[in-house]
Structure 1
Amino acid sequence: MTGYPAGSVEPYERGVEARRDGNLAEAEKLLKQAFEAGHPGGAHELGGIAAQLGADREAVAWWRRAAEAGLPESAFELGYGAERDGDLEAAERWYRQAAEGGFSGGALNLGVLLEKKGDVAEAMDFFRRAWELGEDKAAYNLGRLYDDDGKGDLEAAEAWYIRAAERGNGGAAFNLGFVRQDRGDAAGQLQAWRQSADLGYHKAAFCLGDHFQKAGDEDAAIGWFRRSVQEAGVEHAARRLGDIYRGRGDERSARFWSEFVSGLSCYSPEFEAFAAAGSAAAIQRQDVLNAAVGDGDIAFDLDARTLTSGGRTFHGVTFLGSFSHVSDTWLWAWANPNYENDVAAIVPLAAVREYGERHAVPELSAGRLDLCDFPDPHQAATTMVIAAAALLGGNGVRSCRVNDGQGSFYFHLDDPSLPAAEFDPLSATRLLMAAAEIFPTEQRRVVRGFLAHHGCRIRESEEVVEGIAPQGGQVTVAFTPDGLIKAASAGHAAG
């Protein structure tokens, strides 16, 4: 920062860095030194530390010193606190000081206060000032005021909503859709709602689903209702999906989507089809990995992409996600707010999410899944993770308990030093039967997927699926008329 005494800048910058690193005692010492040397930012930061520690009176005292020294962000904090305490006169005074000092939040909040007082013209003036200072919410508010529930200046409303939406305001894009509807622009309405949905606004995807359902396009409606459920947990979208699938006679999908928000007791048909095809190979990879790594405490380094167990360090780690033993929920690492998606051990996980989005597999594309109604939620999470990790190739999955046993972290390994899972006809029948128990409605897919994974030449009839491996091993599986495995045998191919 410039414009402050030279002796105040260095302790201020060091104090900010110490606060960022969590060294509050050192931060307080340096920031007091900075303030005493003439840097008001020191008092502002000290107010933030006091608020962080729950010392609200001390925070106000420091912010007042900084505001009196001309720091607009401290005036904003004082205005926000006064508004929270119900002292609107003081709030307005401090917000005005913050706005006059060029702080965008002060201009925005002052505009809101003035609108509530009925001084709409001055409120709009401050919203314009806030917009010029970079506040997208100010343009949203201007659009809303011009809109006036469809009775106002719709051309001006559209212009301001567009400006806010261009800066990422999903609510503005959503409202823009209604303005365009009022102006007779049906295509523009849908375009605005699509933009709103892509910006994460929770109402947009549902409204798009409702629009397409009323227009008779159930497939499009399903896609938007799914997004509404997965991205925002909208219960009435889940009910609509249940009704649509039930009307189509698809009870498995109806059950899955009806349960999605309240707690799942089953996987989606899309996931079962995907997971079944890779299930026997995934079990085999896990068997080989577990034998090679053994048991032992796990330590991990997400930046280095390493995992240490039993005194050995393995490379090529991808952090898959976490299971809560308290809430029985699964959270993919890419949706965990405690980690950035550019962390080295999370970057490869994008392949799983992209596959889920491309093939409409909700378990792979929804950030959080409530598994509480499965008979064994932890096992359900483990099965899901092992199946998903197959998309990353490599060796398989390891997990460890965290937070005093309240959670489990899951990692995928892709380390060339670990042995690969090779085709073995003698163990194939065991693997196929184990996988078929996990996915009983997809047993033929289990067999075909395993044989294809190992490059087998497959011959298939209604009664039998037979695979001959490049190395000469052979697996033959007989099925009942309703698609269940009746018998399985293995050996060497004739000739």
Structure 2
Amino acid sequence: MSEPVPLTRLLDDAGLLSLEHRLHVEELLGSHRWQADMEEGRLEFIGAEQTFVCTKFHLLGTADSESWLWAWANPWGFPKSLIAVARMVREFGFRYGVAELCAAEMPVALGRAKPEPHQVAELLADAAKVISGHWSSYCGVTDGTCVAFLVEHPAFELPPPSASVLARVLAHGINALPLIDHRRATQSYLSRRGLVTAFLEDQRLLEFNGSGVAGTIEFDDDGCVANLDVGVVMDRIELPTATKAQSANSL
């Protein structure tokens, strides 16, 4: 077995990018209903204005008020292609000692914590995203059971990063997500969005830039985000030669 990887590290790596994908998909779908045909390999999101049909999707597992069950352990049985990613996650769990990823079934309640089934499903889906590289997920509820999928559709792909979206995701995610290592989580997110990142001042500052965006994140003594600054980079605009000459003559 390789060096163990704690589940919290995967969740830190996934949290912010997963949040941006989730917000993007929610905005696209709006009010909708969903239906899936596991045998035919068809997952539909039916809204008032448009319908999205996914013919590439991956069943991860199901959660109810009692437990989470990985798709590869479901006694109903599913096509191998449908649960291939879930099996990939299991293999990762065995290789890196992540018990939550290779235990067939787990109780939803953890000590005194009693999360909702969809919260458990979303966290395990986030871990699966880092492992599989599929970043769009959907957790739908049917008959009191939350079903977790990773979904593929051209419309679900993220647009290029913008200052407003980065600021929104960073500010909301840092406060709302159960992140353990803020430095790792923010650097992972920004680099996965294609930005160049660099820690400065003994990792007290994280600078980033790219795609017309630049900014800094400041961390406090406990490694938590203390300040966030995201802005737009304005490229230097060169005047046409004729305009330059006219400007010079007017001086």
Q: TM-score range by the shorter chain?
A: 0.7 to 0.9
In 2, the alpha carbon distance for the partners of 1:347 and 1:444 equals: 32
Would you say the 8 A contact 1:302–1:343 is kept in 2? no
- Aligned AA for 2:53? T
Q: What SS does the aligned partner of 1:303 have?
A: coil
In 1, the alpha carbon distance for the partners of 2:28 and 2:115 equals: 27
How far residue 330 of structure 1 moved from its aligned partner, in angstroms, is: 0.7
1:196-234 per-residue CA deviation (whole Å, 9 max, x = no partner) reads xxxxxxxxxxxxxxxxxxxxxxx99x99xxxxxxxxxxx
In 2, the alpha carbon distance for the partners of 1:375 and 1:299 equals: 28
Name the counterpart of 1:476: 216
Name the counterpart of 2:156: 418
In 1, the alpha carbon distance for the partners of 2:75 and 2:101 equals: 18
Name the counterpart of 2:172: 434
Q: What SS does the aligned partner of 2:181 have?
A: helix
In 1, the alpha carbon distance for the partners of 2:120 and 2:21 equals: 18
Q: Does 1:365 align with 2:140?
A: no
Which runs of 5 or more residues in structure 2 are unaligned? Answer: 236-251
In 2, the alpha carbon distance for the partners of 1:421 and 1:276 equals: 22
**Greater Rg, structure 1 or structure 2?**
1
1:238-279 per-residue CA deviation (whole Å, 9 max, x = no partner) reads xxxxxxxxxxxxxxxxxxxxxxxxxxxxxxx81111111121
Would you say the 8 A contact 2:122–2:148 is kept in 1? no
Name the counterpart of 2:81: 344
How far residue 321 of structure 1 moved from its aligned partner, in angstroms, is: 0.6
Name the counterpart of 1:446: 185
Which runs of 5 or more residues in structure 1 are unaligned? Answer: 1-218, 224-268
Question: Taking structure 1 as reference, are residues 375 and 436 closer, same or farther at Cα in structure 2, changes over 3 Å only?
Answer: farther
In 1, the alpha carbon distance for the partners of 2:41 and 2:159 equals: 22
Would you say the 8 A contact 1:440–1:484 is kept in 2? no
Would you say the 8 A contact 1:293–1:309 is kept in 2? yes
Q: Does 1:392 align with 2:132?
A: yes
Question: Taking structure 1 as reference, are residues 290 and 467 closer, same or farther at Cα in structure 2, changes over 3 Å only?
Answer: same
1:39-64 per-residue CA deviation (whole Å, 9 max, x = no partner) reads xxxxxxxxxxxxxxxxxxxxxxxxxx
Would you say the 8 A contact 1:395–1:418 is kept in 2? no
Structure number with the higher helix fraction is 1
Name the counterpart of 1:409: 147
How far residue 421 of structure 1 moved from its aligned partner, in angstroms, is: 4.5
Q: Does 1:284 align with 2:20?
A: yes
How far residue 364 of structure 1 moved from its aligned partner, in angstroms, is: 1.8
In 1, the alpha carbon distance for the partners of 2:102 and 2:45 equals: 30
Aligned residue among 466, 476, 480 for 2:207: 466
How far residue 493 of structure 1 moved from its aligned partner, in angstroms, is: 4.2
1:413-455 per-residue CA deviation (whole Å, 9 max, x = no partner) reads 1123434253222221221233333234211111111011012
How far residue 395 of structure 1 moved from its aligned partner, in angstroms, is: 5.0
Structure number with the higher strand fraction is 2
1:72-130 per-residue CA deviation (whole Å, 9 max, x = no partner) reads xxxxxxxxxxxxxxxxxxxxxxxxxxxxxxxxxxxxxxxxxxxxxxxxxxxxxxxxxxx
In 2, the alpha carbon distance for the partners of 1:371 and 1:320 equals: 16
How far residue 332 of structure 1 moved from its aligned partner, in angstroms, is: 0.8
In 1, the alpha carbon distance for the partners of 2:27 and 2:191 equals: 24
- Counting aligned pairs with the same residue, the percent is 19
- Aligned AA for 2:98? V
How far residue 379 of structure 1 moved from its aligned partner, in angstroms, is: 4.5
Count of aligned pairs: 225
1:343-369 per-residue CA deviation (whole Å, 9 max, x = no partner) reads 331123222222222222222222212
Would you say the 8 A contact 1:394–1:415 is kept in 2? no
Aligned residue among 91, 106, 117 for 1:378: 117
1:288-327 alignment runs, 5 A limit: 288-310=24-46, 311-325=51-65, 327=66
In 2, the alpha carbon distance for the partners of 1:457 and 1:411 equals: 31
In 2, the alpha carbon distance for the partners of 1:493 and 1:356 equals: 41
Q: What SS does the aligned partner of 2:154 have?
A: coil
Would you say the 8 A contact 2:21–2:156 is kept in 1? no
How far residue 475 of structure 1 moved from its aligned partner, in angstroms, is: 2.8
How far residue 494 of structure 1 moved from its aligned partner, in angstroms, is: 7.2
Supply the RMSD in Å over aligned alpha carbons: 2.5
Name the counterpart of 1:10: none
Q: What SS does the aligned partner of 1:441 have?
A: coil
In 2, the alpha carbon distance for the partners of 1:380 and 1:458 equals: 30
Name the counterpart of 2:70: 332
